[in-house]
Structure 1
Amino acid sequence: MKADFSKGPVTLTVSFIGYETQELPLSAADNAISLTLRPSAVLDQVVVAASRVEESIGQVPVTVEKLSQRQVEQITTPDLVAGLGRFKGIDVSSSSMLTTSFSTRGFNSSRSERVIQLADYMDTQVPSLSSYFGNLLGTPVLDVASVEIVHGPASALYGANAFNGVLLTNSKDPFRDPGLTVRLRGGNRSMLDGQLRYATKIGERVAFKISGGATTANDFLADNQSATSTLIEPGNNAAGSNLGYDAVSRYGDVGNTFTATGGALAGKTVFLPGYSEAELVADDNKTHSYKIAPSLAVLLTSNLKATIDYRYTNANTTYQSASRYRFVNSGAHQARVQLEGNNWFVRGFTTRDYSGGRDPQTDGSYNLGFLGGFLQAQQALAKDANGNLTIPVVDATGRAVSYAERYFNTYAIRYNQAYATNGNNTDAAAKTARDFANTNAPLLQPGTKEFDVARNQIIHNPTPGQGARLILRSILNEGSGQYTFNNSFADVTVGAAYRQFLLGSDGSLFEDTRDGERIKNYEYGAYAQVSKTLLDDHLKLAAAGRVDRFQNFGTAFSPRASVVYSLGPDKLQNFRASFSRAFRAPTQNDQYIKLDVGRAILLGNVRGGFQGYTTPLASQLPGILAPTRTAELAGYEYSSAALKLEEVNSYEVGYRAQLVKKLYIDVDYFYNTYNNFIATQNFIGNIDGSRPTAAQIGAAAPGRFQNSALSTRVIQIATNVNQQVKSQGAGLTLSYAFAPALTVSGNYSYNDLITKDFKVGTQSFFNTPRNKFNLGVDGLLLDRALSYNLNYRWVDSFLYESTFATGTVPTAQTLDAQVGYTLKPLHTTVQAGGTNLLDAPNLQVYGAPNYGRLVYVGLLFDIK
């Protein structure tokens, strides 16, 4: 059709599904029009994560959030995942600056064990830990085309552990998006960040790209001096106690319960002073993330493409789980091969993690709790005539005396003396004893040569029970395929996947050994989905189901059924409802862990289960073991069967619409019921699973069940709770685009754990604020040369539970902003921005550091 300019200017409208519709006024014919399509942020977006096939976001049957390339570029945190908290229904948990996990719909944690995170459909978990380290192994940020987050269960299409959500990062296609992009930034905390992407076509059938980057900064370090919860340390003293206490962010502050031979101290527990995280991390406080990701794509035919990818990442960072772990030069290798046609694909990938070399002399990762504890077990040194610590301390028999033993003995002697001379005043005696022991029987002092030597030996010693070295050398292998049949009756998608874990830790985390084979574990499954549109495509019905088989848990079936009804000729109002059932397989740690953390030993639970006694028994000893009272043991009996799959049944309704021009809304409500809910349980038992005898309990009790040489211990396992657990929640997003210069948006999220009366000793790990909201503005000014965005985030206080620390995370209010100005002739954008600009309290994981202010300036070069 030829344009008629005789009556004045005409308007050229350019639209394409998934991109913003743009209008370009023309006063005369022009054969050299240049226009760049911008990804849409509204109802005509295309998503693939919800149903594993392309569909309009308006007719997606479940709650989905999609971030366009522009929205990704607006994230101000160094790690992509850490910035997702500004979107509806998404909770983020940062263990440190570059280690962040995400969750949706409750049960948040630093491990993200209830969601899966994919980069071009490759699982980005670290296999040894069943955890996601933010975007550590994900797509380099300059290569991200979009991010899609599916809220709620998705096991029907993705298998077990797509339990509460899926995060899918889609990378840019080198055929469609060639060019060079470089981003350089610098900021406070000595932050330096450089990112690069280069893509080119080699002829018409071959395309190559390489992306990656490097980020370094001074890491955030934890410094929580509150007393560790008595759920985790039952015999702990109150914070500030002159008997000492186990603090959340001190390590090696282990306790000793004195028996009758302790005199006035009998029955009391004295804790060592311990070491702070900053003292133990020492010169390792720099965090970094290095990654590189080359990719080659070949068009074998017009409808068949082959892709080969490789990703390498290396990091220094801190991760929180059962303890806090410092990873030094750790990371993963990942490789993929894929064939894809118009309606099918076959792919396979492998991931191999590492945590430094297996050679003890090389750098590597370590457990901060072990490091603090084993520093106390070193032989104590006394000063010689010159004031140097050179004289080994021994007892009357010539036996070496550790720093901990010397401290406790000195404390006890001085306490009993002070107690006798101060009118039996226990607190005064404790203060006198503490001050005397700290002066006359000090522990190894940070900054001294002796401390540095001992620290170096411990962090490089991989021997379980002696060193703090953590060795990761696990492998995840996965193969999958999918085919979609399009016909006039219905669209049918079928697929299958197999994955294998080969777990290795040299005994530092799992029940494997250095010289033994890796622990093998597998799962596989197949799925099908049928979708049908009716009423001139206004009604969309879909059903999906997946069968999975697990090495340790048998077979499970995950169904999903959904309906979407769209009103109006343009389908601008969309109502959705769905039912989903999903299963969660216990993590590899839950299945095979063997980690002695002193106060308890953590064991996997996939064999015959455990018999024992509840931990309140400890407070009744030794009287309950008297011959006339042993029958009372029955009142404390505990038993646990081997782990089973956890199940969730989820009901969801939602409404997504364009109410008036440029006003968009998305609202949803869900109700979940969980069966065989997986939680942690502490009890007194034998490590072989048998129930201890009264004699075994009596022998262990004086050491408060912490002696690693004993078979009777406080044991911590993952187990299924024999009660139904219920939760519910809702979310609302509103966005109004006044003009390209101003878009105002906001979202609100509500989450509620309905079940309150958990069994004694059970931790739910809900870890989610009941209320939170975001308010933001963004826009393009000066002929789109100036861009800006501003986001205010408010998060309610909530209880955070974990096996490491339990406590209240306070209310957080953060302000993030970014501004950029593009010098078009130079293909350069000058940027400035920051996260938590007001440096407000911003704790996300109890026991982790506060995520403080980060500001930066930089340049972005983009040559298409």
Structure 2
Amino acid sequence: MRHLFAGFLLILWLPLCGWAQNVQTVRGTVQDEAGRPLPGVTVLIRGTGTGDATNEQGAFELKADFAKAPVVLVVSFVGFAAQNIPLSGPETALVVKMRTSGMLDQVVVSASRIEESIGQVPVTVEKIDQRQVNNITTPDLVSGLARFKSIDVSNSSMLLTSFSTRGFSSSRSDRVIQLADYADTQLPSLSSNFGNLLGTPILDVASVEVVHGPASALYGANAFNGVLLTNSKDPFKDTGLSVRLRGGNRDLLDGQLRYAVKLGERVAFKISGGGIRANDFTGNNLDATSKLLEPANNPAGSNLGYDAVSVYGDAGNTFGATGGALAGKTVFLPGFSEADLITGNNLTYSVKVSPSLAVKLTDNIKATASYRYAATNTTFQAASRYRIVNTGAQQGKLAIEGRNWVVRAFQTRDFSGGRDPQTDGSYNLGFLGGVLQLQQAVGANGQPVVDASGRPVTYAQRYFGTYAAAYNAALQANGGNADAAALTARTTANTVAPVLQPGTQAFKDARDRIIHNPTPGQGARLILRSVLSEASGQYNFNSEIVDVVVGGSYRRYDLGSDGSLLEDTRESGRIRNYEYGAYAQASRAFLDDHLKLAAAGRVDRFQNFGTAFSPRVSAVYSVGAEKQHNFRTSYSRAFRAASQDAQYIRLDVGRAILVGNVGAGFRGYTTGLATQLPGILAPTRAADLAALEYQSPGLKLEKVNSGEVGYRGQLTSKLFVDLDYFYSAYDNFIATRNFIGNVDGSRPTTAQIGAAAPFRFANAALPTRVIQINTNVDQTVKSQGAGISLGYTFSPALTATGNYSYNALITKDFQPGTLSFFNTPEHKFNLGVDGLLLERKLSYNANFRRVSSYTFESTFATGTIPTAHVVDAQLGYTVAKLHTTVQVGGTNLFDSTNFQVYGAPSQGRIVYAGLLFDID
């Protein structure tokens, strides 16, 4: 791929000769409806990259070849309806009047992979234009999408956000795909998008489009519940320099840059990127971990100790007969907080740089070579909380596009520090806390602690031993008061046999060793070194009878973690996995373009899952002379493959081992077995043991059949409405399941069960463990939802917007031990205002969001997300002569409770002030 990329660059830089044209000059001015000049308006000659931007007086000048008359000028500006102006000859005093844009004037490409009016798209689509992107107040672009209809965002930390539509939200966005100019932005090792980390830099964003619901028919299997497509600015059309500088609370510093220049009429170059840093929010949830995940847990505050959500290394010990009066009780270690483990260094940052070169090979063919580098420090939540250090990705992309076709190829390589253990990289907070407890204890005399046989004694062993002795002695002394005995035992153990203390040199030394060690069971280092390669193409056949789109893609993963996350090893090399597919879509308009019918289908082939077919059929009926009322309906079927890490994971988290499930499946027993030991192993209870048997075949593709109806229309010239309703039914639903089995997939013998009981301790020498896998639920899972958006434009000075979203999981009764991960509020609404005052010099926007309380399920933590009320706002004043806009604003201005992922911190107030320089 590197050689291909270098060769392509060489071709683009070859001398470009013989392209002189017989041109003449076109001059004019662009004004608003009141006759005031509009600076910054883009004026292009359709079908070419030739164009100009208006100056402060609204004037433009460009060259056009009238040998090919008529020449069509395309005049566009954010907030106004684009105009196409045909010219048969040169003009020197052209006046163009722009009218305020209605919502139906928007053009989208994501719904059908071709340009079409947003009013006539067959599915629910949200388009966020450049003006709305500039109004986003959150540090990360994706996080700001929460203000739009039926889009849910989940923040693991300040700069790490995932998005979802139509339910089943998570911190990983594994049911939707996220694209930047059609290149996937995921980190392949984790099958996760880190917000907009590898996406389009914010100043280079032309628009964002979100397709709601299944889109596999055109985008492939994991476009299961939606697509997020970011479109970047064209360097031929949007030239100049833009710089944004901001500073705010939490030591926020934000600098962004974009520069684009035309090197003649055939070559254009741009570079964009920037960096943001701040003090991140830190997890501090001291609730008791759900008994769904930790069945033996004690209530929060128990003197026996308890497993807290944001505490790590607080492992439990269920005492047997040797524990005396503690037999059958579980005592938990004092653990370490998130702040302890990151040693108070909650710095987060994100940096990226993205240069690209575009060359017009002919008037109708453009080639683009681009590169993107992105790196971050942040905190990510999945099966555990991970401190992400010096982690990111590089992506190279090549594209050649004509008027009706495009060919693309890209390759993404992720990284986390280096493979050398001495380099700083990401680490697992759960592993770090657990391994710290397994260090050899040091006594008050400074000497290592050993037992009577001279074997090392760990901090965990010393604590549990001291606790048990103190508990039994106190229980006998106080007449059997168990609560008082537990308090005495905890106080004694914390005083006489404390665990490693944060801030001490011993803690620092042990932590440093562990976070640099990737060996499972000994260290916490997470190594990412996976590669995602993809090639794709599309061709559009347009005719008077039917319009047809055909395309296809090939994708290959080469997954590597050196055994720190996946079942690969440093010696075995990367795990290879592939998928490929082809699609076609046919559409035709009837009744003078008032009825549009379309059908699409895609066939995909997977290395691990065989072949799947995804169809979509749709109809749009438009009413009114200007098609201002549009009714749509569609049916889609989509497929979802488990994420790459779910297919190949092998991660021992102590209380369970997470194993991939793409082989022959697993046989074992339900976790109810643990509560019936040891009696159930008696020969006389063989039938009872058989009743607890569990079996899971290897994973299959999850399938959804979804139907939707909707209406999008301009009720008046100022009132816009968009509403939709959907109903979805999922088969082979992928969920997680815990059971007791052998890690090789076989059912344990009674001897193996007895040796491994009570299944709470990680013992790599034994085959029998509590195992967690992704598996298909043998029941149909159903959900439904609806949404409505309203927008009323009183004048350029005031536009009021509002939206409401409803989502519900209809299937509530799952098999015991199964989590649905629906993770979506039933009710959510936004109310917003924005506008331009003082002859467009003063801009403002404000948004209020209310999100109802809901249950959030994950393999890390399960609990209740409280109701959130969040206010965001921004104010800007433009000094045109200085090409400068002064900005002040913030998100969650009233610092209200704002949890989005259970176990992650609340996303509190961030306020900022800064400058935006924009020179065309």
Coarse TM-score class (shorter-chain normalised): over 0.9
Is 1:205 equivalent to 2:288 in the alignment?
Answer: no
1:567 corresponding residue in structure 2: 623
Cα deviation code 1:175-220 (max 9, x no counterpart): 0000000000000000000000000000110000000001000011
1:554 corresponding residue in structure 2: 610
Greater shift, 90-99 or 277-286, is seen at 277-286
1:367-446 matches, within 5 Å, as 367-384=428-445, 390-446=446-502
Change (3 A) 1:18 1:498: farther
Shift of 1:497: 0.2
Change (3 A) 1:630 1:564: same
**Distance in 2, Cα, partners of 1:38 & 1:335:** 40
1:633-672 matches, within 5 Å, as 633-672=689-728
Change (3 A) 1:465 1:641: same
Letter in 2 for 1:376: Q
2:686 corresponding residue in structure 1: 630
Is 1:610 equivalent to 2:671 in the alignment?
Answer: no
**Distance in 1, Cα, partners of 2:82 & 2:613:** 46
> Which of 851, 861, 865 is 1:805 aligned to?
861
Letter in 2 for 1:695: A
Cα deviation code 1:246-297 (max 9, x no counterpart): 0000000001111111100111111001000000011531000010000000
**Distance in 2, Cα, partners of 1:157 & 1:523:** 15
> Which of 807, 810, 832 is 1:751 aligned to?
807
Change (3 A) 1:15 1:349: closer
2:551 corresponding residue in structure 1: 495
**Could you tell me whether the CA contact under 8 Å between 1:598 and 1:708 is conserved in 2?**
no
**Distance in 2, Cα, partners of 1:282 & 1:64:** 44
Cα deviation code 1:217-236 (max 9, x no counterpart): 00111000000001111111
Segments of 4+ in structure 1 off by > 3 A?
Answer: 9-19, 30-41
**Distance in 2, Cα, partners of 1:353 & 1:173:** 27
**Distance in 1, Cα, partners of 2:816 & 2:530:** 35
Is 1:816 equivalent to 2:877 in the alignment?
Answer: no
> Which of 849, 853, 863 is 2:909 aligned to?
853
**Could you tell me whether the CA contact under 8 Å between 2:81 and 2:100 is conserved in 1?**
no
> 3-state SS of the aligned residue for 2:737?
strand
> Which of 163, 187, 205 is 1:126 aligned to?
187
1:266 corresponding residue in structure 2: 327
1:6 corresponding residue in structure 2: none
> Which of 70, 84, 94 is 2:155 aligned to?
94
Change (3 A) 1:693 1:784: same
Letter in 2 for 1:289: S
Change (3 A) 1:588 1:374: same
> Which of 501, 506, 526 is 2:582 aligned to?
526
1:576 corresponding residue in structure 2: 632
**Distance in 1, Cα, partners of 2:578 & 2:631:** 39
> Which of 755, 773, 780 is 2:829 aligned to?
773
> Which of 531, 540, 543 is 1:484 aligned to?
540
> 3-state SS of the aligned residue for 1:511?
coil
> Which of 293, 310, 313 is 1:252 aligned to?
313
**Distance in 2, Cα, partners of 1:784 & 1:66:** 23
**Could you tell me whether the CA contact under 8 Å between 1:541 and 1:563 is conserved in 2?**
yes
Shift of 1:704: 2.7
> 3-state SS of the aligned residue for 1:458?
helix
Is 1:230 equivalent to 2:308 in the alignment?
Answer: no
> 3-state SS of the aligned residue for 1:696?
helix
> Which of 247, 255, 259 is 1:186 aligned to?
247
Cα RMSD for the two superposed structures: 1.8
Shift of 1:629: 2.1
**Distance in 1, Cα, partners of 2:683 & 2:630:** 72
Letter in 2 for 1:158: Y
**Could you tell me whether the CA contact under 8 Å between 2:81 and 2:102 is conserved in 1?**
no
**Could you tell me whether the CA contact under 8 Å between 1:39 and 1:69 is conserved in 2?**
no
**Could you tell me whether the CA contact under 8 Å between 2:674 and 2:758 is conserved in 1?**
no
> 3-state SS of the aligned residue for 2:255?
strand
**Distance in 2, Cα, partners of 1:351 & 1:788:** 38
Is 1:58 equivalent to 2:119 in the alignment?
Answer: yes
> 3-state SS of the aligned residue for 1:660?
coil
Shift of 1:422: 1.3
Cα deviation code 1:386-407 (max 9, x no counterpart): xxxx310111111111111100
Cα deviation code 1:654-677 (max 9, x no counterpart): 000000111000000000000000
**Distance in 1, Cα, partners of 2:609 & 2:734:** 14
Change (3 A) 1:35 1:849: farther
Letter in 1 for 2:116: E
Letter in 1 for 2:456: A
TM-score, normalisation: structure 1: 0.96
1:437-516 matches, within 5 Å, as 437-516=493-572
**Distance in 2, Cα, partners of 1:526 & 1:575:** 29
**Could you tell me whether the CA contact under 8 Å between 2:391 and 2:426 is conserved in 1?**
yes
Change (3 A) 1:509 1:555: same
Change (3 A) 1:446 1:147: same
Greater shift, 726-735 or 36-45, is seen at 36-45
Shift of 1:702: 3.8
Shift of 1:428: 1.0
Change (3 A) 1:22 1:302: closer
**Distance in 1, Cα, partners of 2:182 & 2:729:** 28
Shift of 1:708: 2.9
Is 1:841 equivalent to 2:902 in the alignment?
Answer: no
Shift of 1:589: 1.5
> 3-state SS of the aligned residue for 1:244?
coil
Alignment gaps of 5+ in structure 2: 1-27, 29-33, 39-72, 84-90
Change (3 A) 1:22 1:200: closer
**Could you tell me whether the CA contact under 8 Å between 1:706 and 1:714 is conserved in 2?**
no
**Distance in 1, Cα, partners of 2:106 & 2:764:** 58
**Could you tell me whether the CA contact under 8 Å between 1:287 and 1:317 is conserved in 2?**
yes
Is 1:713 equivalent to 2:769 in the alignment?
Answer: yes
Shift of 1:172: 0.2
1:27 corresponding residue in structure 2: none
**Could you tell me whether the CA contact under 8 Å between 1:18 and 1:39 is conserved in 2?**
no
Cα deviation code 1:708-748 (max 9, x no counterpart): 32110000000000000100000000000000000000000
**Could you tell me whether the CA contact under 8 Å between 2:35 and 2:97 is conserved in 1?**
no
**Distance in 2, Cα, partners of 1:12 & 1:285:** 48
Letter in 2 for 1:281: I
1:291-370 matches, within 5 Å, as 291-370=352-431
Letter in 2 for 1:105: R
Cα deviation code 1:447-479 (max 9, x no counterpart): 111100000000000111110000000000000
2:9 corresponding residue in structure 1: none
> Which of 192, 201, 204 is 1:140 aligned to?
201
**Distance in 1, Cα, partners of 2:330 & 2:797:** 64
Identity, % of aligned positions: 71
Shift of 1:774: 0.1
**Could you tell me whether the CA contact under 8 Å between 2:759 and 2:770 is conserved in 1?**
no
> 3-state SS of the aligned residue for 2:704?
strand
**Could you tell me whether the CA contact under 8 Å between 2:268 and 2:358 is conserved in 1?**
yes
Change (3 A) 1:39 1:190: farther
Letter in 1 for 2:813: D
Change (3 A) 1:352 1:34: farther
Shift of 1:35: 7.4
Cα deviation code 1:106-151 (max 9, x no counterpart): 0000011000000000000010011111101000000000000000
Shift of 1:640: 0.2
**Could you tell me whether the CA contact under 8 Å between 2:759 and 2:769 is conserved in 1?**
no
**Could you tell me whether the CA contact under 8 Å between 1:505 and 1:513 is conserved in 2?**
yes
**Could you tell me whether the CA contact under 8 Å between 2:274 and 2:353 is conserved in 1?**
yes
Change (3 A) 1:40 1:706: farther
> 3-state SS of the aligned residue for 1:613?
strand
**Distance in 2, Cα, partners of 1:12 & 1:236:** 69
Is 1:286 equivalent to 2:342 in the alignment?
Answer: no
